[in-house]
Amino acid sequence: MLTSLSFNDCCNLSDASLEIIGQNCPVLISADFSQCPEITLDGVRILLTCCLAMENMSCMVCDGITNFSQSSEMPPKETVKEVLSNEHTQVGKEMATVGEPGEEGKQKYSQLKNFNLSYCYNLKPEALIVISELCRNLRMIILRFCEGPVNDVSVDILRLVFTNCCYLEYILVGPGLNSTVNRKDILI
């Protein structure tokens, strides 16, 4: 069975392609769809819903990944830039717990641990919420060189992302080592 694949720089790869891949490769563990401009967050969502064992995914330079929902924008109270420029201290660590699973209709979450969305210039902050709701087991999100709207993500959105993903310790957001948003700085 196919557990890893790379479609790097496939200009015609679309959401429909990701759906077919998900239906035919349900045990995928690792996938690279970097530089595939036609895929969107809808396609990623469909793939992760089909491939629950997926642990690593890279969608670098995928300009089609923005935000699939038309949710209202949350007004930023404090942006990532402000968080990184301020010093925060915290005594303890807050961890989220996922609700008790029911016998029927049990919610299934992707096992995705690492998601690289670097260079996705059109990525909107709300997309991070959608990703965190689907991928509750995330350990790392990489948003390096995402110079678009996601740079102005509010602390409220980051707090929700960290709360949804109880294993997520940090989000890499910029080119330098000082551009990391840590759980301890957000969940005070």
Report the predicted TM-score, pTM, of the whole model to 2 decimal places.
0.78
Residue 104 lies in a domain: no
Strands (DSSP E) found in the chain: 4-6, 30-32, 56-58, 114-116, 140-142, 170-172, 180-182
Structure confidence at residue 77 (pLDDT): 40
Residue 151 lies in a domain: yes
Residue 21 lies in a domain: yes
Residue 103 lies in a domain: no
Q: Which domain, by its residues, includes 83?
A: 4-96+111-186
The least confident of 77-86, 99-108, 134-143, 173-182 is: 77-86
Residue 34 lies in a domain: yes
Residue 41 lies in a domain: yes
Residue 56 lies in a domain: yes
| Structural domains of the chain, count | 1
Residue 121 lies in a domain: yes
The least confident of 62-71, 124-133, 166-175 is: 62-71
CATH code of the domain in which 128 resides: 3.80.10
